[in-house]
Every structure is written in C-alpha cells, then in structure tokens.
C-alpha cells in the first residue's frame, strides 16, 4: 500500500476474510447447501439436489468484477485504493436463494412441516423426441399453457392455478402435462408456445447448444485461441468499443509471479466522507421482474440516483408475487422479490402508452447519465425510445439494453426468464438425478445477467469519461448463462466428454453427496476434494476397515467405489446429529455443511456477522430485513449499502417530477386525473 496507494485488491474466499467461518474448508457443493439453494431443489418425495456445474463460482467472480471496477472508479477519482472482500457464500445466498427468508418474514415466519424442496410445474417435460422447457411465471402464462395442452377445463380450478396447489397434486399435474407433451415433437411445441408468447425453450447441453440457430446467427460461440474448440464470447457488446479477442492462457509460471508497475505518489482526496463510486450518476430505470432490477439495485447501492419508471396500467410484475391476498389493501406492496431487487431506488409512474407519459420520460432521459431496460426489444422501441432516439436526446447518455436473447437473431422477440436461460444454456442438463429429467437450478441467471449489465455500464461510463460519448450496451441474459455453463462446451470440444447430471455427485470431489442424518430432513453435504481430505475423513470415521483399502487413496479409486462409500457413509450419518458431524469434519479440514432450509439462510452466523442482511423501514410493510451487497470495501467499514426501502407505487411522483422537470401542482393534478401518473394500480 505504501508503494501503490491507488491499488485495488480483490479477495474472493468461500466465507469472506472476517467472521467465525473465515478460513473454513468449503467447496461449491457445500456452499450451495449452506446458502439454501440445495434445500429448495428436488421433488418432495426425493432427496434435495445441488445445481450442477460451477454456478456459484461464476456468480462470485461476476460480483468481484463489478466490485473491482467500482473501486477502481473511486481510486481514479481520489487516488485512494481499496481492499474488496468478496464472500462466495454471500454471493450465492443472494442469487441462488430467491429471497426465501424475506417471504418467510413477510408471512410472519409460519411453521413448516415436511421438505422445503419443490419443482416447477410445468418446467422441463418429455416430448415425442426429447425434452422441452416451459416457464409460467405469471398467472396469464399458466392459463395460456392450459390452453396449449388442450385442458381449458382446468382454467377455473383455483387450486391447480397455484404453485402450491400443483405441488400438492404433483403426480396428477405431471400426468396431465405429459399426456399432451409426449404426443408432440419438441419443435412443434416450441412453435405453438411461441405463438402464444409462453416462454419456451430447447434443452441445451455441451454438444447441442453451439448449433442452436440463434447462437449461430449471432456468432455467440467464438474460437478458443489456438485450441481448436469454441467458447462463449463475452456476454455484452458496447457499440463503438469492440471486445478484444481472447488471448491464449499463460503457461504456469510464465511471468515469474512478478509485475513491473512503477510506484505512484498518493493523490490527496478531499476531506470528509468518501463518496460512493457512482455518486452523481442518475439512471432512468425501465426494468421489471428481476434481471434488470438486480442491475439497478446494485447501481443504487454504489451511489447512483435510480429513478424507476412503472405505470399504474402496468406496474412491475414482481409486485404481484406477493405474500398478501387481494382482500388486503395495497397487497401488491408485499412482494419479497420486488423489495429485494428495488431497495435504494426512487419510483414514479408514467403511462408510456400516452404521448404525455412518453414526453415526460424523454425529458428525464435528457438529464440522465444512463438508461437501463430489460423488456423484449419491441417494447421500448414501441415507446419510441430506440437507441437513436435516446442518443439524439442526450448524446452523453449510456443506454443499457438487457433482453433475454439479444437485439437480433431468430429468437429476438421471444419472452424469456431465468428458467428459460437455465434450460437453454445447459445449466439444467447437469442438474438432477442421473436417471431423471433435467432440473432448473432456479434463479441465478437473473442477477448474473444483471451484474454483467452493471459491469458493462461501468466500462461504458469509463469510456465516456475519456471521450464524452454515450454508448449503446447490449447484454443478453442467455449469453450470461452460457458463460456460466461454458465448462460443458469446453469439455465437449476439448475432450469429447458430454457432462451430464449425476445427482449430488460431481467431477471435483469423491466422495461427494448428501447423507440423511438423525432427525427429520437433516442432511449432511460432504465433498472430499483432495487425498489429504480423504485421510482426514478416515480419521474422523475412526479408520474403519472398509476405509483402509489402498484403492481408495486416490480420487479415481474413490470415484470407482462411490456406491460402496456412499453406503458406508449413509450408515454412519443415519444415527448422528448433522451439526455434530459438520463440526467434527470441518475441524479436521474436510468440506462439510448441513443442508440449510432456504428460509433460514438469514440466520446463518457468518452472514449475520458480516452484515449481509440490513434492516429498513417501509411505509406499508414496516421494519424488515433484506439481503444486502455480497462484498465489503475496507474504506467503508461496516457502513450499510441500502439507503432506502423499496418504493411503493408512484411514491416519488411529486418529488421527482418537481425536482427534475419543474412541474407544478396544477400540472401534477392534471396528470393524475388523466392517469398518466398515479399511486395505485388501475382496477385494484
């Protein structure tokens, strides 16, 4: 620090560098169990299931890249470097566990009985020639799905219309769905569902995904330098700023572990509190659901002034994923995901189908630094807010567009959600039992795409600081997912290996599995990643005769004997409390964890110690806790990231329109009377 006071250092560790779990052994597998992800996935009549691949590692790396660029932005402003402390558990708890603890808090922490895990119905279903993926995240999408499978008689079945109802009637629901899907080819189903605007997808894997016509036309997969196979390109494109080609990976020790950087004198910053990295940046936010709001939520935490635009005609759809029935006034203000992804923002309503609403939006854009949207491309373009229009209004503004599939290509106008991306990218292909259907990992693709949007926006803002020009940024959800699942494409291209699902086993550890312990729904997640850890496990076991077999001294030997090892470990765990086992194993240096009920992740002692959950006061919900930002800056200490709760509908209409557009009382009253603005969804 004395030689390089401007230097930003980023640490990525399983639990962070502070707290009671710092230095504890862990793997992707055990962290998934601890963050609540594994406990939520799988059929209730089967075991919990981890998400295949290395999603948590990719998510954590993406958060680290965002944090690094934000810290560098501050360092360039005032010459002060920083130490960024990224905790994988925190990153995974906010991306692979969809605000389950917030749902529980909003519901008053009701008692739970039975397994916490479930599957989506419908999701990945068998067809006449393979599998097809559906996503019916909204009520209308599920109603349309019932029409698609020729069961309009179920439209009035209110129990069947709910996720919980379909879970209770899982076998009946799957039989109804499969009766139709197995009679039709995958391509036929996709064509019909697309016409009805039901999110639908091919099921990709390391072999098939590179040949999907959309990716071929867009040039999504590019040659790996000098290796003879392909890999996904960077998942964003910045107009006028082409991404440099991938370079060959350096040979081990090629640069001797040294850098040749000149020492710098420290630039003296202004006295007083250090501003946040995006202090002074204003963003007009046209995002909804989770991917786009996750991006602007991060921008708000980093100091940007976010003006979220909804309308009383079409509020953010995540408001309706609520914990209150329609009989409760303002029931739409009780949506946990909306709260989690929108804290820190101001919100107004503008009817974008009314020319007056569009004109007000244009005036806001004229005074902003950035615009972010995540609709299908036609939506924002139908408002007249194309890139050319935005650039003409404000030549220095950066416009970030975050569609599901991109701004061109055969799938351009298809709707898509996180589940769709997991189905297409291959994430689902490696998740599930080896003799069962693929399962979606559930959730991570939204914030993953959102963080790539933040990353690209920070790059575009840096370039704007140099030349004064705004730029169009295209970030696609599916290409962010393809990067996180890239291991499958590389394994197939480089070695001819098609990775597949294998329950709770994995290629990075042996043994690796979940083992039921004493008590109800108590599971041990265990992953032996090295021969040294195997020796430590043997000591904890007491060196039983079966574990002394020399064939088990290597990973290959243990992998070959995995069934036999599982049987022995299952018998050992069955009568023992899971906490006792975890404590003994981690003390011996073996990665182990209990499978956490997803709603209990907010009680994790490591997350509590590091302030991962912040308390806020909301005008409708009252005092509540929300997940915060999963990294720490040394320069900020324990300062909170969330500056205000999620906004209620139209909460800042008067404040924003007076402050930024200088509207008066009469004009505001007229706009309310004509429902260009408002504070309550129409018809509710």
Quote the DSSP letter at residue 118. B
- Mean pLDDT, residues 468-490 taken together: 98
Cβ neighbours, 10 Å, residue 111: 4
- Mean pLDDT, residues 190-214 taken together: 97
User: CA 149, CA 138: separation in Å to the nearest integer?
Assistant: 17
Cβ neighbours, 10 Å, residue 540: 16
- Structural domain spans, the chain: 512-590
Average pLDDT, the chain: 96
pLDDT 10s digits, 82-94: 999 999 999 999 9
Would you say 349 and 678 are in contact if contact means Cβ atoms under 8 Å apart? yes
Judge whether residue 268 has pLDDT over 60.
Answer: no
Judge whether residue 55 has pLDDT over 60.
Answer: yes
Provide the 3-class DSSP secondary structure of residue 126.
strand
Q: What radius of gyration, in Å, describes the C-alpha atoms of the chain?
A: 25
Range in 217-231, 485-499, 534-548 with the lowest mean pLDDT: 217-231
**CA torsion through residues 147, 150, 151, 152, sign:** positive
Judge whether residue 391 has pLDDT over 90.
Answer: yes
Range in 47-56, 123-132, 252-261 with the lowest mean pLDDT: 252-261
Judge whether residue 95 has pLDDT over 80.
Answer: yes
Range in 217-231, 491-505, 643-657 with the lowest mean pLDDT: 217-231
Q: What percent of the chain has pLDDT over 70?
A: 98
Q: Residue written as tokens 């998934």?
A: 32
User: CA 643, CA 390: separation in Å to the nearest integer?
Assistant: 29
Judge whether residue 33 has pLDDT over 90.
Answer: yes
Judge whether residue 1 has pLDDT over 80.
Answer: no
- Report DSSP letters for 614-664, one per residue: EEEEETTTEEEEEE--SEEEGGGTT--S--SPPPPTTTTHHHHHHHHH---
Range in 107-116, 196-205, 275-284, 582-591 with the lowest mean pLDDT: 107-116
Confidence of residue 103 (pLDDT cuts 50, 70, 90): very high
- Report DSSP letters for 509-542, one per residue: BSSEEEEE-SSTT-EEEEE--SHHHHHHHHHHHT
Judge whether residue 270 has pLDDT over 60.
Answer: no
Distance of CA 455 to the CA centre of its chain: 14
Q: Residue written as tokens 């995901």?
A: 337
pLDDT the model gives residue 452 = 99
- Packing angle, helices 418-425 and 445-467, rounded to 10: 100
- Mean pLDDT, residues 504-524 taken together: 97
Confidence of residue 260 (pLDDT cuts 50, 70, 90): confident
Cβ neighbours, 10 Å, residue 399: 27
Domain 512-590: top CATH class: alpha beta
Write down the H helix ranges in 26-112. 28-34, 55-78, 88-95, 100-106
Would you say 236 and 456 are in contact if contact means Cβ atoms under 8 Å apart? yes
- Mean pLDDT, residues 566-579 taken together: 98
User: CA 94, CA 510: separation in Å to the nearest integer?
Assistant: 28
pLDDT 10s digits, 308-367: 999 999 999 999 999 999 999 999 999 999 999 999 999 999 999 999 999 999 999 999
Tallying the residues shown for the chain, one arrives at 684
Judge whether residue 261 has pLDDT over 80.
Answer: no
pLDDT 10s digits, 616-673: 999 999 999 999 999 999 999 999 999 999 999 999 999 999 999 999 999 999 999 9
At residue 661, φ and ψ (nearest 5 deg) are -120, 0
Q: Please report which helix (H) or strand (E) contains residue 310, including its range.
A: strand 305-310
User: CA 319, CA 653: separation in Å to the nearest integer?
Assistant: 18
Q: Which residues contact 246 (CB under 8 A, 6 or more apart)?
A: 222, 224, 225, 231
Provide the 3-class DSSP secondary structure of residue 675.
coil
Judge whether residue 368 has pLDDT over 80.
Answer: yes
Burial (0-12, 13-18, 19+ Cβ within 10 Å), 441: buried
- Could you tell me which of 111, 112, 136 has the C-alpha nearest to residue 125? 136
pLDDT the model gives residue 113 = 84
Q: Does the predicted model carry a pTM greater than 0.75?
A: yes
Q: What percent of the chain has pLDDT over 90?
A: 91
At residue 614, φ and ψ (nearest 5 deg) are -115, 145
pLDDT the model gives residue 266 = 60
pLDDT 10s digits, 434-452: 999 999 998 799 999 999 9
**CA torsion through residues 187, 191, 196, 198, sign:** positive
């Amino acid at each position: 620090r004395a030689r390089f006071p401007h230097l930003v250092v980023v640490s990525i560790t399983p639990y962070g560098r502070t707290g009671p779990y710092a230095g504890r052994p862990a793997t992707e597998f055990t962290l998934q169990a601890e963050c609540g992800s594994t406990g939520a996935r799988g059929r209730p009549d089967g075991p919990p299931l981890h998400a295949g691949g290395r999603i948590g590692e990719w998510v954590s790396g993406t958060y680290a890249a965002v944090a690094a660029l934000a810290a560098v932005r501050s360092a360039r402003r005032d010459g002060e470097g920083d130490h960024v402390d990224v905790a994988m558990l925190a990153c995974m708890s906010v991306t692979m566990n969809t605000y389950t603890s917030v749902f529980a808090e909003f519901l008053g922490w009701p008692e739970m009985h039975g397994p916490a895990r479930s599957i989506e119905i419908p999701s990945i279903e068998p067809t006449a020639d393979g599998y097809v993926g559906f996503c019916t995240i909204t009520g209308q999408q599920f109603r349309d799905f019932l029409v698609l499978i020729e069961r309009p008689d179920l439209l009035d079945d209110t129990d069947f219309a709910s996720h919980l109802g379909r879970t209770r009637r899982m076998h009946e629901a799957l039989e109804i769905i499969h009766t139709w899907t197995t009679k039709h080819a995958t391509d036929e189903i996709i064509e019909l569902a697309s016409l009805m605007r039901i999110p639908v997808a091919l099921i990709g894997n390391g072999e098939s995904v590179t040949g999907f016509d959309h990716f071929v036309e867009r040039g999504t997969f590019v040659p790996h330098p000098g290796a003879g196979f392909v890999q996904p390109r960077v998942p964003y494109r910045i107009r006028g700023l082409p991404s440099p080609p991938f370079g060959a990976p350096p040979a081990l020790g090629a640069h001797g572990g040294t850098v040749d950087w000149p020492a710098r004198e420290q630039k003296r910053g202004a006295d007083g509190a250090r501003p946040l990295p995006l202090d002074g940046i204003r963003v007009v936010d046209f995002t909804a659901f989770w991917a786009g709001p996750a991006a602007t939520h991060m921008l708000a935490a980093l100091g940007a002034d976010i003006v979220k635009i909804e309308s009383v005609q079409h509020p953010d759809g995540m408001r309706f994923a609520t914990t209150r029935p329609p009989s409760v006034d303002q029931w739409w203000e009780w949506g946990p995901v909306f709260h989690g992804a929108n804290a820190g923002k101001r919100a107004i309503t503008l009817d974008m189908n009314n020319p007056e609403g569009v004109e007000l939006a244009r005036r806001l854009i004229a005074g902003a630094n950035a615009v972010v949207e995540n609709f299908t491309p036609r939506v924002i373009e139908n408002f007249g807010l194309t890139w050319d229009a935005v650039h003409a209004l404000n030549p220095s503004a950066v416009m970030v567009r975050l569609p599901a599939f991109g701004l061109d290509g055969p799938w351009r106008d298809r709707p898509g959600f996180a589940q769709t991306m997991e189905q297409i990218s291959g994430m689902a292909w490696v998740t599930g039992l080896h003799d069962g259907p693929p399962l979606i990992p559930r959730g991570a693709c939204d914030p993953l795409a959102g963080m790539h949007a933040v990353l690209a926006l920070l790059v575009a803002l840096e370039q704007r600081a140099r030349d004064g020009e705004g730029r169009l940024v295209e970030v696609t959800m599916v290409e962010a997912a393809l990067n996180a699942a890239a291991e499958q494409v590389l394994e197939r291209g480089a070695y001819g290996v098609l990775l597949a699902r294998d329950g709770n086993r994995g290629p990075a550890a042996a043994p690796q599995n979940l083992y039921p312990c004493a008590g109800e729904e108590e599971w041990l997640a265990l992953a032996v990643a090295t021969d040294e850890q195997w020796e430590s496990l043997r000591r904890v076991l007491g060196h039983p005769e079966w574990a002394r077999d020399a064939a088990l001294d290597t990973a290959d030997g243990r992998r070959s004997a995995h069934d036999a090892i599982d049987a022995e470990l299952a018998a050992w765990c069955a009568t023992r409390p899971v906490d006792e086992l975890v404590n003994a194993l981690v003390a011996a240096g073996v990665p182990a964890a209990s499978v956490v009920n997803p709603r209990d992740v907010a009680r994790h002692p490591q997350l509590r110690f590091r302030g991962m959950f912040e308390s806020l006061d909301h005008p409708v919900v009252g005092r509540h806790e929300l997940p915060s930002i999963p990294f720490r800056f040394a320069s900020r200490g324990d300062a909170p990231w969330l500056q205000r709760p999620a906004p209620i509908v139209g909460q800042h209409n008067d404040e924003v329109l007076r402050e930024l557009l200088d509207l008066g009382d009469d004009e505001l009253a007229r706009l309310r009377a004509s429902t260009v603005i408002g504070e309550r969804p129409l018809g509710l």
